Structure 1
């Protein structure tokens, strides 16, 4: 969980309620400057994080829950993709996902090999869940975490995505560049190099909208 992700989630939460960051702070009973850009780093450049008390107050003021906020932190660009309540979503392990028979040509869940897991409800009827394996996305996603993936969600640069290559590899990455001819994906773990593909080498790419932590 990165400093920028937390503050981006707060900014998005404010925008979802028609507020500026200052307006959100005021609505939560905080000093109106609490979420200003100048308050996100100290004078000597060190990162400043919002307090748990501040987060609790903005949750109370907006009606947002921790699951919705976590979705924003982990890559969602808007809150409506997660609905109140829970539902059963198809689940497989990331290691299984590259095998044939789990997805159709459009990247939608297919076949009978899926388990089911009770997860936060989503507006996308084709959403599915994957269990993370490996350490390429640490510290954001760790082995054993479960992510919800939405084929219907628009994908933008900066989003965390699940992508499948023409060779059958399925991976959770961050989209760092996308042109008509090239797609570049990065791991959160700096030990792993950035991956570059021709646009035709990626069969499909879906956005991660929620993750268990």
Structure 2
């Protein structure tokens, strides 16, 4: 799938995951839209076709019980831009969608995430993202819960997580079991990592690298004043 962005690939993967969660197969969904049984398998794994036709997209989304935005790869295709352009603010190709996930990254005792299926999106100027050094990032937006990262991050802040940046030290979203945490990650000896809170009331947590899965680095935050 050459020249296809990571966000596009994620949208294809979401279709496959949603089908599995609903007990459906890609072959079955292909037949639902009047295509041959291998149609959606090739779409997901080979990127052919590049995008689903709008009637097919609508029928699949209705069957799965989700918005078409969840599985619409056109939203992430830099060559076509947003499928629903806002002409009053310039060409849709000048903007990039950052999906918001219904997950909370706990800055406290731990938060259990729901399915990683976007329910909304932030729409940012490509120029602004370029100036921030984020144009090529694989971004997702999630909400912070808890006070252990105050004053750096406050409960209710929205953070952008770049899944392309999982190595090195910095502030990351980390999965421990089923819980997501946002912490400063420090490398420790013997393949261990230390998770440090900005709030000194919370002691550091030291784990083996196998116990803590780094999801991505926090690269931007936003919140109410």
TM-score, length of structure 1 as denominator length:
0.48
TM-score, length of structure 2 as denominator length:
0.46
Instruction: Considering Cα pairs closer than 8 Å and 6+ residues apart, tell me whether 1 or 2 has the greater RCO.
Output: 1
